[in-house]
Copies of this chain bind each other. A is one copy, B any other.
Amino acid sequence: MAQGSFISERDLIKRISTILGSIVNDDCAVLDSGDRYLVATTDMLHRKSDFPEVMTPWQIGWMTVAVNLSDVAAMGAEPSGVLVATGIPQGTDLAFIDNIFSGFSDCTGAFGTRVLGGDMDSTDELNLTGFAMGFVEKDLILMRSGASPGDILCTTGTLGAAGAGLLQLQMGEDKGAFVKNLLEPVPKIKEGRALALSRSVTAMMDNSDGLALSLSDLSEVSGVGFVLKEEAIPLARGIEEAFGRDKGLELAVRAGGDFELIFTVKPSRIEAASKAVDLTILGHAVEEGLWMETGGKMKRIEPSGYEHSVMTSASS
């Protein structure tokens, strides 16, 4: 009898890893390339999951490149090129296609790289799959592994703006103040490089799936836990006023799409890290568990956030 069941993206990846052999669980794959590492990543974006109707084709192009570059940033690498495979529905306006490509071009250009090539196909649903590469010195690469208990947990920027943007879209507020944060993510290339060069960071990743899920990934790969101090969470400007503190915190911890860098720093090197980027200390690494500390009280954090799930049918 065939039965339907949902399997999360993360569980499916674990299942598949047993078929493919060990897959490094990091923002990018890492390859030896002489005196440097080559890092490479891919992200598939498509109409239903990633491109709300309100999004312009330029934003669609920008986002496709940005989310891939964010993975390169998370390794401390310098981007060296992007490829994009574009599946375009029949009947798409040529101007729409042009604007998608302008988005590709503007986002690569803004971060010092370019589109080197790609593939083009005709698909029912708009599907843009990006592929970004970068290089990083071998002694500077930053991975998800490497955090130790006692390390200081930090983030770049502020949190929750993208989630607030999604909320505004869901409420029909297409012109809401946070919508642009959701639709035009900014990869932290400069910040990632500066942190790598500061030699102060022990582990890093981007928070594209939300802070809680990212901490869960970092925790699993590094073999540590984290204490997150509620009062330290840097809410994006205006969120508390618009949605209240509780909702703001929920967005900052659970919602995806912020594309900030989450990283751990050796306590003795926190000054070097602070000089490299504008950072906020969120808490610290501990032996195990994910904890929220509120007014001295500790509570477990559920590792949930933005995650694709795939409905599969398993024969039983």
Which residues of A come within 8 Å of B, CB atoms? 2, 4, 7, 9, 12-13, 15-16, 19-21, 23-24, 26, 28-31, 33-36, 38, 40-44, 46, 48-49, 80-81, 83-88, 90-95, 97-98, 101-102, 104-105, 114-125, 127, 129, 131, 133, 135, 308-315
- What residues of B have a CB within 8 angstroms of the CB of A38 in the complex? 33, 38, 133
List 5 other contacts, CB 8 Å, given A29-B81, A121-B308, A125-B125: A29-B83, A42-B118, A44-B127, A123-B127, A127-B127
The number of times this chain is found in the oligomer is: 2
**Which of B19, B42, B81, B120 meets A98, CB within 8 Å?**
B19
Complex: how many Å from CA A116 to CA B118? 19
Question: B311 contacts A91, CB within 8 Å?
Answer: yes
Least CB separation from A87: chain B residue: B44
- The reply to whether B42 and A129 form a contact with Cβ atoms under 8 Å apart is yes
Closest 4 CB pairs of A and B: A29-B116, A44-B85, A90-B311, A29-B117
Q: How far is the CB of A284 from chain B (nearest CB, A)?
A: 29
Pick from B4, B23, B34, B120: contact of A33, CB under 8 Å: B34
Our pick among B12, B31, B314 for the contact of A81 (Cβ within 8 Å) is: B31
Complex Cα distance A91/B310, Å? Answer: 8
Q: Which residues of B contact A310 (CB under 8 A)?
A: 88, 90, 92, 120, 122
Given A34-B33, A311-B90: A28 touches B117 (CB 8 Å cut-off): yes
Q: Are A85 and B42 in touch, CB under 8 angstroms?
A: yes
Considering the chains assembled together, what is the distance between the CA atoms of A84 and B135 in angstroms? 20
Which one, B9, B97, B114, contacts A20 given CB within 8 A? B114
A41 and B308 alpha carbons, distance in the complex (Å): 26
